[in-house]
Structure 1
Amino acid sequence: MEPDKKSEQNGHVMPERSPSTENLQKKLSLGQKLCVFLRKNLLVLLTVSGVIVGVGLGMAVRKMDLTKAQMTYFAFPGEMLLRMLKMIILPLVVCSLVSGAASLDTRSLGKLGGIAVGYFLVTTLIASGIGVTLAFIIKPGVGAGGLNTNHLALESVSKDKETADSFLDLARNLFPSNLVAAAFRSYATDYKMVAVGNITNGTKIYQKVPVGTEAEGMNILGLVLFAMVFGVALRKLGEEGEELIRFFNAFNEATMVLVSWIMWYIPFGIMFLVGSKIVEMEDVVLLVTSLGKYIFASILGHVIHGGIVLPLIYFGFTRKNPYSFLSGLITPFTTAFATCSSSATLPSMIKCVEENNGVDKRISRFILPIGATVNMDGAAIFQCIAAVFIAQLNNYELNAGQIFTILVTATASSVGAAGIPAGGIITIAIILEAIGLPTNDLSLMLAVDWIVDRTTTVVNVEGDALGAGILHHINQQEQRKRPLEESDHVGELSEVRVEANTAAHEETSPLVTHHHKNQDPAPEAIESVL
């Protein structure tokens, strides 16, 4: 069965069009057509306008020579947007993954999960390959040997974490020891020197011993894994788990209503986010001339991967126009550009993918939270370029084994990269240590991260969205192959589309639907079971 044709646009439920409505629209005047277009795309236009006005506002305020305190006050509306988006991440990720995993049967869950992991792995490997190739073609670090931290008056960034411990921490964070603490802390290895004995002249021998500490920041990876497994467990319970599934789905729908409200604040918040970044810039001309080739290589890699490679992969699977799919996601892309955070973009991405592109809610709410955590194509590109850049900066010749190590390490470590601004910088330290390069040049990356991170985040979220579109297409093909009677079992869990603005007299919140003897569910309200 095709997905429900009703959709919400700008927070309002849009009814299915009838042929008579279409005929009326053909007779509309140019002015009326313009009004209809503006009404449908108002939020997109406001969001894009917010970025443009923000740039102009930032350039104007920059000339006023604000103090640090005044800059903080100027950035306040943008800070409020980030806080609202981050506030909604935890309930959105947990509830959407629990309901998504519970509404998919185990066979479909395993197959779709396998395809998703394969897609994430392949696209990230391709991204890493593009990054390394561009770095060797453009050679951003060649001839920049005189460039150093002191020259640009930057603070040094040191990261002495061992590569092995970085990957062990990734595994530890997958299984948080305390779920409540995982909402605001993650596990991180630190080191202390321990005396292990004396030698003949009385000098003590010290060894560096790793010790576990708690780092500030949500352990999104652990929460994602727990929510997925918990959703599968609830489905296995059958009727006993239905009440809890109803709770999570009602919570999920309420969260999406909150998201629709927050989205109307996005244009205003984005204006000040972009403006405040321009005001805070130090000597941008010196940075761009010194690190211009690195910035150019990174952004070119993002344009190639996001504008050509990912759309080609989508077209290869679906035989549909990828750019028409992406045109429905301008608002989340603009949000990604302004916030530099995959996690903060997740709420608007889920909403737009479902409403503008008609992706099945079970697919989008299952795959997008996972993608925002583990799929970092844009980050893999700039991390590989940064690693080769630092090698060239130090006149260090990379052999084939080290290039392979960069590819594999960038792909693997991007899974653990935090979906927050500058989250990928720490990951570069892992790559550098894996190939034996110094980490003291990381501050150069941090100096221009606010430029590169914008296109990085857009490519990250684009990869997630196109992955959801591919899975939705594969899911639809699977449904067509199965006989109708096979997909209509008593007791199967199927998702009921809940419209926030409809005054339904029946039960509207649960996803669990029973086939009553004397009552057939409305065909347009039920999405087919995988």
Structure 2
Amino acid sequence: MEKPNDINGHAVSQCSVSIRKVPSKDEPTTCKAKFASFFKRNLMVILTVSGVLVGVGLGMMVRNMKLTRAQMTYFAFPGEMLLRMLKMIILPLVVCSLISGAASLDTRSLGKLGGIAVSYFLVTTLIASAIGVALAFIIKPGVGAGALNTNNLGLETVSTNKETTDSFLDLARNLFPANLVAAAFRSYATDYKMVAVGNITNGTLVYQKVYLQHEAFNDRTRALVPVGTETEGMNILGLVLFAMVFGVALRKLGAEGEELIRSFNAFNEATMVLVSWIMWYVPVGIMFLVGSKIVEMEDVVLLVTSLGKYIFASILGHVIHGGIVLPLIYFAVTRNNPFIFLSGLITPFTTAFATCSSSATLPSMIKCVEENNGVDKRISRFILPIGATVNMDGAAIFQCIAAVFIAQLNNTELNAGQIFTILVTATASSVGAAGIPAGGIITIAIILEAIGLPTNDLSLMLAVDWIVDRTTTVVNVEGDALGAGILHHINEQEMKKQKHQQQGEEELAEVRVEAVANLQAEEETSPLVMQQNQGVDVSLSTPEDKAAMESAL
């Protein structure tokens, strides 16, 4: 791990700052030495990309061996270990980095940066949703595929009876977990329970919910009512909010909270050391993750031929948003080349492509953003955990395309109100989407319920999710990284502006001190001021002041 330097108030690695200097004797001069130096600097990137390529070749070879389910599990074990290590580090990394980040920024800076971050997340997600809807209407992936159903592909049906209102209420409930310890491994989710609501006497039913059913054997009406349950999975949203508020509270304590802040900072630095160790296992884990996915594929040709237009529309949307829209936003704000910034993030992008998890990519993203791109630690460790939770641009694109695809599949014409509902619902519900593989399928169900479409065809999305989810996650983490870069630039500009203001105030203060003598002289020549300031002792003036007064008089 390279020793960081402190430049402009933030930590960067020694290799990330390009300073023009006179070549020394130790610098490589021959082509061989330069190649060796380049290989050493970019060893992690080369190994990670090689892991993906070797994984593809390994998967194609092992695929022909017709492995059993048990043998596939054994083959995927090294990749599973990588995912477990990355998920293990998420909880301490998110909590400690957010607490230390919120505590290191004053309340005004925190509020301003937080407001800019939320605006950036909302705007980019809304643009992503609009791109998804536009591409779905241009490419029309569901037109002509009305005969396609889950039976053609041998897929299991995905059943969901969750209503849109309950989904958004669950999002609010998860923001405030009742038990912080349980939030580390469980989330709140609404389920439905069948209860009796009354007798039937006149042969009519009182429909309390759409899930109302009637049992003839006891002549009782029974209805599905929402009940609270706990589901497996970290409540990252609640932990993020608690860590931010707790960091602000520690800063408000002043000197009393400094010891605890230093403890969290030390914990955070130790976590980053663990991340640097885990990074050396990433190429091996990625190789088996990609290889195992290729081995598990069943009939790829049938999926691609039947759902090829949907896959193409989704990936094209990700290319447009990630390759054009997000870089343009970064360039418009910073006036810097976005692709130079992104070139330092090849390792986390490769990790995102292999793991399909924004949360699992978070450790490597924080490490590379700070070391390769020189982003202030206070900014990166504050904004990246939030972005990994609430900023899902790639997910919004494929969710909107999926919603329009299912509408076209069912020969349903969408009106302007339903299109607007898709845009708003996809933008809002992507905040609560889990940063895990296939986490966006549940969100598609929310969108379908909001516009009144059946959820029977969700299994089609799940069948190709392993393909689309890879580019989805890459776009998600790219949006987080560019957001951190934009906030870092804005923070630097604010610091420069404050520095200039302070220098101006110091110059003004010097001018005032030099002008005191002349002001006193003018006051003494004024009869009005003389009557009010007769008690002023002028004898204490220095010889220079006296000379100045004489010259003024």
With structure 1 as the length reference, what TM-score do the two structures score? 0.89
Question: Once the 2 structures are TM-superposed, how far is the Cα of residue 205 of structure 1 from its aligned partner?
Answer: 2.3
Partner of 1:42: 43
The letter of the residue matching 1:375 is N
Q: How does 1:177-192 map to 2 (within 5 A)?
A: 177-192=178-193
Partner of 1:444: 460
Q: How does 1:32-181 map to 2 (within 5 A)?
A: 32-181=33-182
Partner of 1:466: 482
- Which structure features the higher share of helix residues? 2
Q: How does 1:241-390 map to 2 (within 5 A)?
A: 241-390=257-406
2:12–2:373: 8 Å Cα contact kept in structure 1? Answer: no
Question: Once the 2 structures are TM-superposed, how far is the Cα of residue 196 of structure 1 from its aligned partner?
Answer: 2.0
Q: Which blocks of at least 5 consecutive residues in structure 2 are unaligned?
A: 1-6, 203-217, 504-553
Question: Once the 2 structures are TM-superposed, how far is the Cα of residue 193 of structure 1 from its aligned partner?
Answer: 1.7
2: CA distance, partners of 1:16 / 1:433: 53
2: CA distance, partners of 1:437 / 1:104: 46
Question: Once the 2 structures are TM-superposed, how far is the Cα of residue 16 of structure 1 from its aligned partner?
Answer: 9.3
1:387–1:428: 8 Å Cα contact kept in structure 2? Answer: yes
2: CA distance, partners of 1:401 / 1:237: 49
1:6–1:16: 8 Å Cα contact kept in structure 2? Answer: no
With structure 2 as the length reference, what TM-score do the two structures score? 0.85
The letter of the residue matching 2:478 is E
The letter of the residue matching 1:147 is L
Partner of 1:211: 227
1:188–1:214: 8 Å Cα contact kept in structure 2? Answer: yes
Question: Once the 2 structures are TM-superposed, how far is the Cα of residue 483 of structure 1 from its aligned partner?
Answer: 2.9
1:3–1:358: 8 Å Cα contact kept in structure 2? Answer: no
The letter of the residue matching 2:474 is V
Question: Once the 2 structures are TM-superposed, how far is the Cα of residue 208 of structure 1 from its aligned partner?
Answer: 2.1
2:11–2:371: 8 Å Cα contact kept in structure 1? Answer: no
1:5–1:16: 8 Å Cα contact kept in structure 2? Answer: no
Q: How many matched pairs?
A: 482
1:165–1:189: 8 Å Cα contact kept in structure 2? Answer: yes
The letter of the residue matching 1:472 is H
2:391–2:431: 8 Å Cα contact kept in structure 1? Answer: yes
1:161-216, Cα deviation, whole Å (9 max, x unpaired): 01000000000000000000000000000111211222326722223211000000
Counterpart secondary structure, 1:373: helix
2: CA distance, partners of 1:289 / 1:454: 19
Q: Which blocks of at least 5 consecutive residues in structure 1 are unaligned?
A: 488-530
1:141–1:392: 8 Å Cα contact kept in structure 2? Answer: yes
CA pair 34-141 structure 1, distance change in 2 beyond 3 A: same
2:82–2:285: 8 Å Cα contact kept in structure 1? Answer: yes
Identity across the alignment (%):
84
The letter of the residue matching 2:39 is L
2:103–2:251: 8 Å Cα contact kept in structure 1? Answer: yes
2: CA distance, partners of 1:71 / 1:486: 65
2: CA distance, partners of 1:58 / 1:150: 28
2:11–2:370: 8 Å Cα contact kept in structure 1? Answer: no
2:10–2:375: 8 Å Cα contact kept in structure 1? Answer: no
1: CA distance, partners of 2:26 / 2:369: 25
Counterpart secondary structure, 2:254: helix
1: CA distance, partners of 2:156 / 2:14: 48
2:11–2:377: 8 Å Cα contact kept in structure 1? Answer: no
CA pair 112-4 structure 1, distance change in 2 beyond 3 A: closer
CA pair 82-58 structure 1, distance change in 2 beyond 3 A: same
Counterpart secondary structure, 1:423: coil
Partner of 1:19: 21
The letter of the residue matching 1:186 is S
The letter of the residue matching 1:393 is L
2: CA distance, partners of 1:17 / 1:167: 51
CA pair 245-291 structure 1, distance change in 2 beyond 3 A: same
Counterpart secondary structure, 2:165: helix
2: CA distance, partners of 1:15 / 1:139: 47
Partner of 2:544: none
2:10–2:377: 8 Å Cα contact kept in structure 1? Answer: no
Q: Which residue of the other structure, out of 239, 247, 258, is the alignment partner of 2:255?
A: 239
The letter of the residue matching 1:29 is T
1: CA distance, partners of 2:478 / 2:239: 23
Partner of 2:547: none
CA pair 404-5 structure 1, distance change in 2 beyond 3 A: closer
1:465-518, Cα deviation, whole Å (9 max, x unpaired): 00000000000000000037969xxxxxxxxxxxxxxxxxxxxxxxxxxxxxxx
Question: Once the 2 structures are TM-superposed, how far is the Cα of residue 217 of structure 1 from its aligned partner?
Answer: 0.3
1:273-317, Cα deviation, whole Å (9 max, x unpaired): 000000000000000000000000000000000000000000000
CA pair 152-486 structure 1, distance change in 2 beyond 3 A: same
